[in-house]
Structure 1
Amino acid sequence: MAGSSVPLPFVDVREPTRPAADAAPAVLIHGWASGSVYWEPLASTLLDAGWPVWILDLPGYPPGELWPPGREWTLESAAASVAAAIATRTEAPVHLVGHSMGGSVSLTLAADRPDLVATVTLVGMVPAPPNDAFKRLLLSQVEQGFLDAGTKAKLMDSWFGPLLPEDARELLSSGFDVPFPVLSASATAAMTGVEPSVPGRVHAPLLVIAGSGDRVRSMDQMEAFVQAKPGVQAKPGRQLTVVPEAGHSVHWERPRECAEALGGFWRSSGPPPA
């Protein structure tokens, strides 16, 4: 578990007006240099469908939060912190939904604390190396000690597309404002990915939602991960939903399609154990 000096994630708990039967909370975990704001379209759609939604800002990411000096930001520390936040709010398993680096946090949590997890959904990611250009770009920025404006623009274009309206671009780029020690450490975590044994230790039903135009992970990587057989095959196992004409931030671009895929997956997986 996360130590007492490591911040817990900020959790925005939202309840639907008309809850669906046996609806476990959907815990939405953002990716690197991102934040809770880009979950809003999907969260609204899930709430309308009756699903409780918990939107997280990972440790070090909430505005104004100070990261404890000398503490390392890792996937393991982030996952333990999220697990502690979940355990303080419910004794029943939840549905984890992680985008990009948030998927690595979700997988790590599911491997270490299966008692807390009903299902796992990876949005725009699988545990495979990012493309070389993306990796070189991030490494150069980490080494120079700051993210320059040109790099931020390139990243935003690869995540959301170059035609993003300026007001939305300003809103969605707020994740770059976190303290650089957290930004650089979480970038390294995102590039390194999960510890090799993690995917095989995740036995909860697992869904991958991918945009057909994702420029960060290839469709070949998505399909290879879904087709691989973990040590213990959960039912319904691993599934892939591809959303046409969407990119890396498919949950932002196509929230209704994502919500429909999630709802169908959660219902097919059965109610979480009591």
Structure 2
Amino acid sequence: MSSTELPAALATTVTPRVGTVRVAEGERLRSVGLPGITLTVRSRPPAREGLPPALYVHGLGGSSQNWSALMLLLDGLVDSEALDLPGFGDSPPPDDGNYSVTGHARAVIRYLDAAERGPVHLFGNSLGGAVATRVAAVRPDLVETLTLISPALPEIRAQRTAWPTALLSVPGVARLFTRLTKDWNAEQRVRGVMALCYGDPGMVTPEGFRDAVEEMERRLALPYFWDAMARSSRGLVNAYTLGGQHGLWRQAERVLAPTLLVYGGRDQLVAYRMARRAARAFRDSRLLSLPDAGHVAMMEYPETVASAFRELLAETGELTSPAGTDAGS
């Protein structure tokens, strides 16, 4: 179903929700009300009718804006939508305060069921990669292909650079960090985030940096910003400790969809060494290694990621039309 056509169950809940949130040329935002959650959805009008749907899920502290560059490159190939997970971007917190990986996965599933868009080409980065893995494992009917960029799957020995993010999960730490950094301005915070997430922060354009600072200022003004960060971080750490059929690696083994894995050699949050384990765990996987990329390859090297996704579609027989063949090239 095209993102411009909505089921009756959603049509009455859709209202403009742009505000001060950045919307790239050709994009639009809408707010979708579902039981217990309200989700902001970023989309691009499909280049033509009949394109297969795609859904993008961001990482911890991110938003649907993280996918804008890739969505643009995939115009003509898929009908793109990106979610702001509950409590992030422009989506308010969930009514039940559930920021677990399962809670976020339930929000994605709830949206796909209500929008009648499945099966979709599902993308996930970092926390969104863990969420997308869970969705693909428990609802294979909703996922056509799976593309995971630095997915946050359990590591026995996490990199030291990832420890501060994990520490946010400890009760009281977010509040303490807020007090200790109360004099930091948005520009300082953005520089820190980019140094952590990019293989080469110098790749960020001045315009991109200004946009990020503006978005950081907006988010810091939200009363639930740090609570959403802390609870989602805690939810991710808790997911790492689950065993049996609910463990993320066990669920990765259950994924039936053809899977593209993207790992960065300079990733400071998800260890590059995990790429081989992931390639073994997902039964129908192919691996794209980017030695110079950090944690957000879809923002650092969107053309390369788009090309790899196009190859995935060609390999799985999903790329059938002449218009789609040239998309993203």
TM-score between the two structures when normalised by the length of structure 2: 0.70
Residues 55-70 of structure 1: matches in 2 within 5 Å?
55-63=82-90, 65-68=92-95, 70=96
Residues 81-160 of structure 1: matches in 2 within 5 Å?
81-90=107-116, 92-125=118-151, 127-129=153-155, 131-142=158-169, 143-144=172-173, 145=175, 146-147=177-178, 148=181, 149=184, 153-160=191-198
| Contact 1:15–1:51 (Cα < 8 Å) also in 2 | no
Partner of 2:209: 169
Partner of 1:201: 254
- Indicate which of 240, 249, 255 corresponds to 2:287: 240
Q: Which range is displaced more, 99-108 or 142-151?
A: 142-151
Q: Deviations over 1:177-215 (max 9, x none)?
A: 462221111122334446413212212111101223222
Secondary structure in structure 2 of the residue aligned to 1:127 = coil
Secondary structure in structure 1 of the residue aligned to 2:310 = helix
Secondary structure in structure 2 of the residue aligned to 1:9 = strand
How far 1:244 moved relative to its partner? 4.1
Amino acid at match of 1:248: H
| Contact 1:104–1:127 (Cα < 8 Å) also in 2 | yes
- Percent identity reads 23
- Indicate which of 43, 52, 55 corresponds to 2:71: 43
What's the C-alpha RMSD, in Å, of the aligned pairs?
Answer: 2.8
| More RCO (CA 8 Å, sep 6+) | 1
- Indicate which of 187, 193, 201 corresponds to 2:233: 187
Partner of 1:11: 41
- Indicate which of 92, 100, 103 corresponds to 1:74: 100
**Distance across 2 between alignment mates of 1:66 and 1:226:** 34
Compared CA separation, residues 116 and 46, structure 1 to 2 (3 A): same
**Distance across 1 between alignment mates of 2:130 and 2:256:** 15
**Distance across 1 between alignment mates of 2:144 and 2:87:** 26
Compared CA separation, residues 91 and 57, structure 1 to 2 (3 A): closer
Q: Whose Rg is larger?
A: 2
Q: Which runs of 5+ in 1 are unaligned?
A: none
**Distance across 1 between alignment mates of 2:163 and 2:271:** 17
Amino acid at match of 1:241: L
Amino acid at match of 1:63: D
Partner of 2:5: none
Q: Which range is displaced more, 56-65 or 158-167?
A: 158-167
| Contact 1:29–1:55 (Cα < 8 Å) also in 2 | yes
| Contact 2:70–2:299 (Cα < 8 Å) also in 1 | yes
**Distance across 2 between alignment mates of 1:127 and 1:212:** 16
TM-score between the two structures when normalised by the length of structure 1: 0.82
Q: Which runs of 5+ in 2 are unaligned?
A: 1-32, 241-245, 320-329
Amino acid at match of 2:85: L
Amino acid at match of 2:302: P
| Contact 1:67–1:182 (Cα < 8 Å) also in 2 | no
**Distance across 1 between alignment mates of 2:139 and 2:124:** 16
Q: Which range is displaced more, 214-223 or 103-112?
A: 214-223
